[in-house]
Structure 1
Amino acid sequence: MIAVAAAAAFLATFNETFLNVAFTPIMQDFGVDVSTVQWLTTGYLLVAAVFVPVANVLYHRFPTRPLFVAVVAIMVLGSVVGAMAPTFGLLLLARLLQAIGTGLLTPIGMNITLAVSPREKLGLNMGIMAAMTTLGPSLAIVLSGAILTVAPWTTLMWVFGALTCAVLLAGAVILRNVAELGRPVIDVLSLLLVSVGLGCVLYGMTVAFSRSALSAGISGLVGLIAMSLFVIRQRRIENPLLDLRPFSSAPFVLGVLMTMLGLVFVFAMNVVIPLFLQGALDLPPLGASLTLAPGILLTVGMGPIAGRLFDRHGGHWSIPLGFLVMAVFVTLVGVAAGHSSIWIFGLLYVPAALATALVVGPSQTFALANLDRETSPHGVTVVSTSFQIAGCVGTSLATGIFGAMVAANAGAGRSEGDSLLAGFHGAVALVVATSFLGILLAFLAYRLVRSRHAAEGVQGPAHTVQSIMQSDVYALSSNQNVLEALQTFAERGISGAPVLNADGTLAGFLSDGDILRYLSATHATATSIYSYAIGAEDDLEQAMSDMADLNVMRLATHDTVTLDARASIEDAVAALSVRCAAQEGSGGQREGFPPRRYREPVRDQPSGHRHVPAFP
C-alpha cells in the first residue's frame, strides 16, 4: 500500500513539470505567446492547491480504494483529452483536470502512508514519500527532454496517461480501506474563499516580475483578505473544510515552513538551470536536462536513508546540515557557472540536490509527528497544500528574478552571456537566502521541542518509557461486544487494545489471544482447522453469534498494571518481570480458560495529560 501511495505521489508531482520542456512546440502549434503558455503550469499549480483541502473531506467520506481509483481516473481522462486537444483552450482544460487529480491524490497518498506505517518506521516511509515527490518534478524534465527528441509533444500526454493507468490498476488491486469514515460535507463558501485566496496570492506572485507591481499588489491583497475570511469561517462552522488545530502547534508550523523552503530550492533550480544552460552555453533541451540527472537519481536513494536517520537520531542535526550543504554547494554551482566546464557544474550540483533529501522528508515528518492521531489528517492537508504553494513560489520567484536581472543587465549594455549569468546568480542568491532561513527555523523548531519537554518534566529520550512506547494506540469501549473488537483487530492490523470506560478511564485490556482461548474452550471450530472437514460450519456461525452477544469486559483483563509515561525503562522491565512471574506462579487461570499473559499499559498522570494507554 505504501508503494502505491508513493507511486501516486510521484505521478502527482511528476506532471507538474512534465510539459514544461514542450512549451516551445506548443506555442508553435497553437500560435500562443509565452505569457499564455505559462498558464499550463501556473493554472495547474493553482487548481491543485485549491483542491488539496477538499481531499481531507473526501478521504473521510468515501472508502479508500474507490476514492483512489476515481481520482486517478480523472487524471487519465485529462491525459487523453490533452493528447487529442485541437485548441489551446481545450489543452488548458485537460491540464486543469489533471491538476484536480494532483490536488486530491497527494494528500490521499500521504494519509494512506500515515495510516499503515508503524511509528518506528514512519520516518523511513515518509522519506520514501518525500523522495518520490522530489523525484517527480525533477525526473519529469529529463524524461520529457528525451521523449521530445524522437516524438511530438502530444506523446508526453499519452505517456503520462499510460503511467496513470498502471497506478490505477495497482490501487484497484492492492489498496484497502484505511480511513475512519463519516459523513463530512464540503462547505461551498469555504471552498470559494480558499479558491479566491490561494488563486489571487499565487497569481500575484506569478505576475510580480512580468507585469505591473500594482496589479500584483492588488491581487495579493485580495487574496489575503479572502484567506482571512476563510480562516474566520473555519473557526465558526461546525464542519470546516480545513481544521485549523494543527496551526496551534508551533513545531508543526515550523516543520511546514522548512519543508516549503526545501521545495522552493527544488522547483527554483529545476527551472532556472535548464534556462541558463540552454541560453548561455547553447546546450539542447536534453543536454540541459541530463545535467540534473545524477543529482536527481541519487536523491531517490537518499530519501529512505534520510528517513532512517530521522527515525534513529531525529532531525536536530540532519535538517540544518541539509540546508547548509544546499547553500554551500549551490553557491559553488554559481561560481562554476562562470566557466565553460559543464562537468564541474553538474558534479557540484549533486551534493546540493542530495541535501534536499535531508530537508524535505525529515521536515514534513517532524511536522506531522508533533500532531496527534485526530489532527494528523488535517496536518497532511496543510503539508500537501504547501507543496503546491512552494512549487508556485519557487518557480515564480526564481524565473522572475532571473528574467528581471537578465533584462536589467542587457539594458545596461552587457553581453547576452553576461546577462544570463547575472540572472542565474540572482536565482542562486534567492535559494542561498532561503537555505540560511531554513537553518534558523530548524534550530528554533528543536529549541521549542526541548523547551516543551523540559516544561513537562520529561527525562532524556534514552531513559524513559515514553521514548519507546507506542503512543497512538486504538482503544475499545467497555460497552462493545467481542465480535466488534475482533473486527477492529482485523481492520487495524493489531493484536490487542485497551478497553476504556465512558469517561475515558482504563477498564481493562483485551487481546486476540483472549478471544482465541474463549473460542477453543467453547467451540470446536477454534480447536483445529480440520474441524471444517467434519462439518463444523454451524458451530462457526454459532461462535460468531455468541461473540456478538458477549461483552468485551467478559474476556478482558481487569487487573491491569499501569506505569507513568515518564518512568524509566528499567522500571518498566522490572514491572513486566514481576507481573509475568506472578502470573506464571498463579497459573493465570480464570473461569476455566487456559493461562494468559498480560501486557502492561502506560498512562500519563492525570495532570492535564492524555488518559489513553500506550504500550512499550
Structure 2
Amino acid sequence: MTHTPTPAFSKTRIAWMIAVAAAAAFLATFNETFLNVAFTPIMQDFNVDVNTVQWLTTGYLLVAAVFVPVSNILYHRFPTKPLFVSVVALMLVGSIVGALAPSFEVLLIARLLQAIGTGLLTPIGMNITLAVSPREKLGLNMGIMAAMTTLGPSLAIVLSGALLTVAPWTTLLWVFGGLTLVVLLAGGFALQNVAALRRPVLDTISFLLVAIGLVGILYGVSAAFGGAALYAAISAVIGVVALWIFVIRQQRIEHPLLNLRPFANISFVLGVLMTMLGLLFVFAMNVVIPLFLQSGHQMEPLGASLTLAPGILLTVVMGPIAGKLFDRHGGRWSIPLGFLIMAVFVTLVGVAAGHSSIWLFGTLYIPAVLATALVIGPSQTFALSQLDRETSPHGVTIVSTGFQIAGCVGTSLGAGIYGAISGGSGEFDSLLGGFRGAVGLVVVTSIIGIVLAFLAYRSTTKTPAASDQELTVQSIMKTDVYTLSLDDSVLDALKTFTDRGISGAPILHKDGTLAGFLSDGDVMRYLSATHPSSTSIYSYAIGGDDDLAQAMSELAELNVMRIATRNVLTIDAASSIVDAVTALSDAHIKKVPVVRGENGPVVGIVNRSAVNRLAIGSYLQGALVGGVEKHL
C-alpha cells in the first residue's frame, strides 16, 4: 500500500541509470578529499593557519552527514530526475563560487554548499541502484557503487596532486565543476522516476537534533587530538544527548525524519558497522600515507599520491568482481577474508615504512587496499539485503550517514594519532612512530571487522522461526500508511488512490485515531446507486464524458465519511500472525488497519500479501535449511 511498483525499464535504460548513480557516488566522494592537497597554497593565498584551513574538509564532512537523513524525505517527495539534477546543480554552483572566492569565508561557504549536495547525492544514487537492480545482480551493482565511493576520495588525491604541479589551486574547483556539469547532463538524459512518491514531512526539530548530535560527536572526535580535550568531551556529550533525544522523538512523532525500523534487524546493524570499518581504513590511510611520505621521506605531493595510485585503480576493477562473488556465494568467507588481508598487509606496510624502499612500501599496500573491495561493497549489500523493499530506503539513509561518519572519524583518528605520537617533530623516528600508530589503529579495526563478520552470518542463521517465537502483527505491517482526513472529499480520496497506486485508505481523526475506512469499492457502489446506468467506473472510460463530469462534480462535494465504512475491523500491533490471518479470512478483506492499544492511534496496515510473503519465505527458508542438512 505504501509502495508504488517501479515501472519496468529496458536493460539499456537500467544500465544507464546505474552508470549515472555510480558517477554521482564518485562525484560526491571525490570532492571530499579533492581540495586536501591544496591546503598549503590556500593558506598562503588567504593568510590562514592549518587549524582554520582544515575546516574545508571537516566542515564539509559534518554538513554532508547532517543532510543525509533529509535525502530520504526528498527522494520520496520529488520525482527522481528533477531532484537529482537540482542536487548536482547545487554542487556546480558551489564549485563556481569557490573558484571565484575573494576570501576564505566565501570559499568555506562554497564548500558547505557542495557538502549539502554530497549529503543528498550519495543516498539518492544508492536508492536508484536499489530500485532498478534485478535481485540477482544486486551484489554486482552495489559492488560498482562501492568501488566508486572508494575510488572517489582516493583518486582525488592523485589527480589533485598532478593538477597542482601545473596549475593554481582554483583549477581544482573549475575541473570539479566541469565533472559536475557532465554528471548533471547525464542525469537529465538517462534518469526516470523510480521512487514511490509520497508526501513525507520534514520535522524541523528532528533535523536540528540530528545536526547537533552529529556535529557534536564528530567535532569531539576531531578536536580530541588538537589539545582541546575538555571542549572535545563537552561537545561529544552534547552530541550524544542530542542523538538520544532524537531517537526518542522518532518513536513518538507521526512523521519521523529517520525511520529506525532497520535498527531492529541485528544483521543489518552488523553489516553497517562492517561497512564503516572498511571505510575507516580507506580514509585513515588516505590521509596518513601522503603525510608520512612527504614529511618522512621528503617526497613531492605528486609522488606521494602516485604511491597510492596502483592500488586505487585496481580496486575499481576488484569492486564489481567482489560484487559478483557475493551474488554467487554470499560474503560468509569473503568479508572476513578481506578484513584479514587488510590487517596482514597494512602491518607489513608499517614494517616497510622503516626502510628506504618506496617501491616495497607501495607494493605491499596494493593487496591491503584491494581487500577493501571484499569488505565495503559486500557489507553494504549484506546489510541492505536484510531489509524489505519498503524499509530499504531508510536503510540506505543509515548506510549513507555511516559513510560520512566513517570518513570524518577515519580522517580525524588517523591524522590525530599520527600527529600525537610524532609530536610535530620532523625527525624520521618520530614520524615513523606516528605512522605505525595509525597502522595499529586500522589493524585493530580490521580484527574487530573479522569478529563482526562471523557474528553477522551467525545472526542470519539463528533468526528464530515462527515455530520458535510467535511473530506479531507489528513485524509484518507497513508503517508508512497513506491516510485521509475527515475534511477530505471523495474526489480527494480518489486522487490519492490514483497517485499512490492504492485501493483504499483509513480516515483518521486529528489525534491519529481511526474514524473510518474508504475503499474504491465504496466509491463504485455509491456511483452505481446514484447513476444506475453505470455499474463501474469503466463505463465512464468508454465515452460517457458527460456522466463522468457530473459524477466527479458530485464526488468533489461529497465528504469521505458519507460513504466510508465506519465500523472498521482493526487489529492490535501486539496481536499474533494467527490473529491477523483469522481477521483477514473471516471478514473476506484484503487489508486491516493496525492500532496500538484499544482505541489507540493507527500505526500501520497489514494485508494479505504480507502474510503470503511470510508464509512463502518461511517455507523457502525451511526448504533451504533442509537442503543444506541433506547435503551435510
The one-letter amino acid of 2:454's match is F
Structure 1: which amino acid aligns with 2:171? Answer: T
Judged with a 3 Å threshold, the aligned counterparts in structure 2 of structure 1 residues 329 and 454 are, in CA distance, closer, same or farther, namely farther
CA distance in structure 2 between the partners assigned to 1:221 and 1:343 by the alignment: 45
Aligned with residue 436 of structure 2, among 382, 402, 425: 425
Q: Give the secondary-structure state (helix, strand or coil) at the position aligned to 2:176.
A: helix
The verdict on how the C-alpha distance between 1:285 and 1:189 changes in structure 2, with shifts beyond 3 A counting, is same
Contact persistence 1:17–1:137 (CA under 8 A): yes
1:341 equivalent in alignment to 2:352:
no
Go from structure 1 to structure 2 and tell me whether the alpha carbon gap of 1:544 and 1:105 turns closer, same or farther (over 3 Å shift). farther
CA distance in 1, matches of 2:241, 2:375: 32
Instruction: Output the amino acid matched with 1:296.
Output: I
SS in 2 for 1:452: coil
CA deviation vs aligned residue, 1:137-163 (integer Å, no higher than 9, x gap): 000000000000000000000000000
Q: Which residue of 452, 457, 481 maps to 1:446?
A: 457
Whether 1:65 and 2:88 are equivalent positions in the alignment is no
- Could you report, residue by residue, the CA deviation over 1:298-319 in whole angstroms, capped at 9, with x for unpaired residues? 0000000000010011000000
Q: 1:416 aligns with which of 400, 421, 427?
A: 427
1:563-609 CA deviation, whole Å, 9 max, x = no partner?
xxxxxxxxxxxxxxxxxxxxxxxxxxxxxxxxxxxxxx994565997
- State the alpha-carbon separation in 2 of the partners of residues 207 and 387 from structure 1: 20
Match of 2:219 in 1: 203
| Partners of 2:284 and 2:414 within 8 A in 1 | yes
Q: Which amino acid counterpart does residue 431 of structure 2 have in structure 1?
A: L
Aligned-partner Cα distance in 1 for 2:503–2:334: 40
Equivalent position of 1:7 in the other structure: 23
C-alpha distance in 2, partners of 1:389/1:229? 19
Distance in 2, matches of 1:235 and 1:48, equals 24
Task: Name the SS of the counterpart of 1:60 in structure 2.
Answer: helix
- Aligned partners of 2:381, 2:57: CA distance in 1, in Å? 28
Aligned to 2:341: 325
Aligned match for 2:109, one of 79, 87, 93: 93
Secondary structure of 2:462's match?
Answer: helix
Q: Does 1:381 align with 2:381?
A: no
- For these two proteins, the number of residue pairs brought into alignment is 480
- Tell me if 1:53 matches 2:69: yes
> Structure 1's 99 and 438: CA in aligned 2 closer, same or farther, altered over 3 A?
same
Pairwise CA distance, 1:396: 0.3
SS at match of 1:239: coil
Give the whole-Å Cα distance in 1 for the aligned partners of 2:435 and 2:144: 31
Report the residue type matching 1:116 in the other structure.
Answer: V
Structure 1 unaligned regions, length at least 5 = 458-471, 473-483, 493-498, 504-540, 549-600, 612-616
Q: Distance in 1 between matches of 2:616 and 2:309?
A: 54
Per the TM alignment, residue 212 of structure 1 is displaced from its structure 2 partner at its CA by: 2.1
Compared CA separation, residues 182 and 278, structure 1 to 2 (3 A): same
Q: 2:245 aligns with which of 229, 239, 246?
A: 229
Pick closer, same or farther for the CA change 1:277–1:78 going to 2, 3 Å: same
Written as runs of structure 1 = structure 2, the 5 A alignment for 1:493-532 is none
Partner of 1:79 in structure 2? 95
Compared CA separation, residues 44 and 610, structure 1 to 2 (3 A): farther
Distance (Å, rounded) in 1 between the aligned partners of 2:264 and 2:209? 22
> Does residue 353 of the first structure (1) align with residue 372 of the second (2)?
no
Aligned to 1:111: 127
| Shift of residue 215, structure 1, vs aligned partner | 0.9
Structure 1 residues 185-228: Cα deviation after superposition (integer angstroms, max 9, x where no partner): 11111110011000010000000001221111000000000001
Q: Decide which of 390, 404, 414 is 2:420's aligned counterpart.
A: 404
Q: Which amino acid aligns with 1:42?
A: T
Instruction: State the one-letter code of the partner of 1:154.
Output: T
For structure 2, the 5+ residue unaligned runs are 1-16, 469-477, 479-494, 507-540, 549-609, 621-632
* Aligned twin of 2:287: 271
- Cα distance in 1 for residues equivalent to 2:364 and 2:337: 17
Q: 2:314 matched to which residue of 1? A: 298
| Aligned mate of 2:382, from 366, 381, 400 | 366
Structure 2: how far apart are the matches of 1:311 and 1:606? 24
Does residue 152 in structure 1 map to residue 168 in structure 2? yes
Pair 1:607–1:131, CA change in 2 (3 A): closer
Distance change in 2, residues 1:118/1:602 (3 Å): farther
1:383 alignment partner AA: V
CA distance in 2, matches of 1:231, 1:192: 13
Match of 1:132 in 2: 148
Which of 162, 175, 184 pairs up with 2:191?
175
CA distance in 1, matches of 2:422, 2:300: 20
* Offset at residue 30 of structure 1 (A): 0.3
Name the SS of the counterpart of 2:423 in structure 1.
helix
CA change 1:349–1:453 in 2 (3 A) is: farther
What is the CA-CA distance between 1:7 and the residue it aligns to?
0.1
TM-score, with length taken from structure 1: 0.75
**Partners of 1:335 and 1:204 in 2: how far apart?**
31
For 1:401, what is the secondary structure of its paired residue?
helix
CA, structure 1 residues 544+344, in 2 after alignment: closer, same or farther (shift >3 Å)?
Answer: farther
1:586 — aligned with what? none
Structure 1 contact 6–132 (Cα < 8 Å) conserved: yes
Deviations 1:491-516 (A, max 9, x none): 99xxxxxx99999xxxxxxxxxxxxx
- Give the TM-score normalised by the residue count of structure 2: 0.73
Structure-2 separation of matches of 1:17 and 1:70: 23
Report the Cα distance in structure 2 between the residues aligned to 1:608 and 1:276, rounded to whole angstroms.
Answer: 53
The yes-or-no answer on 1:27 pairing with 2:43 is yes
Cα contact 1:245–1:375 (8 A) shared by 2: yes
**1:218 aligned partner:** 234
Contact 2:465-2:618 at 8 Å conserved across structures = no
SS in 1 for 2:371: helix
* SS of 1:217 mapped into structure 2: helix
The answer to whether the 8 A contact 2:139-2:327 is kept is yes
CA distance in 2, matches of 1:237, 1:329: 48
Q: Is the 8 A contact 1:604 1:610 kept in 2?
A: no
Summarize deviations over 1:255-282 as a string: whole Å, max 9, x none.
Answer: 0000000000000000000000000100
Task: Tell whether the 8 Å contact from 1:56 to 1:377 is kept in structure 2 after alignment.
Answer: yes
Question: d(CA) in 2 for partners of 1:182 and 1:193?
Answer: 24
CA distance in 2: counterparts of 1:173 and 1:608, whole angstroms: 39
The residue identity in structure 2 corresponding to 1:267 is: F
Q: What does the per-residue CA deviation read over 1:478-498, in whole Å, with 9 as the maximum and x for residues that have no partner?
A: xxxxxx9xx99xx99xxxxxx
Change (3 A) 1:174 1:456: farther
The CA deviation at 1:452 is 1.4
The percent of aligned pairs where both chains have the same amino acid is 73
Write the distance in 2 (CA, Å) between the matches of 1:452 and 1:311.
Answer: 21
Instruction: Determine helix, strand or coil for the equivalent of 2:194.
Output: coil
How far apart in 2 are the matches of 1:544 and 1:430? Answer: 74
- Structure 1: distance between partners of 2:544 and 2:117: 42
CA drift of 1:109 comes to 0.2
- What is aligned with 1:262? 278
